[in-house]
Amino acid sequence: MTTQAVHTCAEPGCTSTRVQPVDDRWYCSEHAGAALLDRMRADREVALHPDLMPWVAMVGPLRMLKHPWVYTVLLAPGDANRMYAHKRATIERATAEKNWHTVVWAHERPYRLRALLSILLDGQANDPDGLHYIEASDVPPITEADPDLRLLALAVWSDAENIAEDLRLWRALFDVPDGTFLTDDHPDDDTDDDSPTGHHSTRQWFEDLPDPVRVYRGGISGDWSWTTDRLLAAKFAEHGVQRSIEHTNFGVRTALVPKTQVFGALTMRSESELLVRCTPDLWPLVHPDRPDAYDDEIGDGA
């Protein structure tokens, strides 16, 4: 049996031992709410950490903190300071251990590509200010990264949402030599039993696809990114509609692509993604008003 330390509610006069933590103290459910609000009030009185000051911005009606490590609506400076201290400790520890996965994922999503590139270029990513100064011309192709960082880069790619903002950097990273084929298969493990495609590996999935292969894309993400999943592409097109300011429906594009044009395949996020070399003839089939129009105009893609 384990013995548990018994805590008593910190409210003067209360003897309850059914308590929950509020920062570094313990309160019963009756007193926790008031204690929490007291702490919030105190957090609002605190000065924002000077490192965070340059990253405050208005986004519409919201005061936001857009630091690479803390990206949040700014309510109380004390909260932001605590998150910053926590992230800094995490990133410093992971950097010492060369645990680049933790370093990259500890960055907020809009900065993960730049964190990864900083690791590729400088061997570290613990200088948030430096992230703005990465030039596309300095970015090495992903094939020059070691296998672990290559997998990390592909995971960041799959997870990214602001591809258009960093398109030049992404293009440089994916500017790989002819004959390259990228997959998210782990180099030490070619039996991926969890694969959503039901194949042993992403490479196997790709090899079983017909040639040429029918691909689709919805929305406006990176132009080499296509999927074999028509419904998924339609979903992305919808997503684009919801998020774009103009409420433009970008529709679903489709193309029949020789497999020699494909330089990578990713299945880790169940997105059945193919990386296709950009060529102008992959662009003409756009149906902004009728995302499903290609069904009757192109047939079944034979």
Among 22, 26, 31, 272, binds Zn ion (CB under 5 A): 31
> 28 or 233, CB closer to Zn ion?
28
> 16 or 102, CB closer to Zn ion?
16
Q: Which stretch binds Zn ion (CB under 5 A): 28-36, 77-85, 116-124, 251-259?
A: 28-36
> 29 or 244, CB closer to Zn ion?
29
> 28 or 152, CB closer to Zn ion?
28
Q: Which stretch binds Zn ion (CB under 5 A): 25-33, 64-72, 212-220, 264-272?
A: 25-33
Q: How far is CA 185 from CA 77, 176, 200, 211, 220, in A?
A: 43, 18, 9, 21, 26
CB of 9 to Zn ion, least distance (A): 3
Sorted by sequence, the CB contacts under 8 Å of residue 218 that are 6+ apart come out as 232, 233, 234, 235, 236, 237, 238, 239, 240, 250, 251, 252, 253, 291
Is 46 one of the binding residues for Zn ion (CB under 5 A)? no
> 9 or 74, CB closer to Zn ion?
9
Among 28, 74, 257, 262, binds Zn ion (CB under 5 A): 28
> 13 or 177, CB closer to Zn ion?
13
CB of 14 to Zn ion, least distance (A): 3
CA distance 180 to 162: 25
x/- contact string, 3-22, with Zn ion (CB under 5 A)? ------x-x--x-x------
Footprint of Zn ion on this chain (CB under 5 A)?
Answer: 9, 11, 14, 16, 28, 31
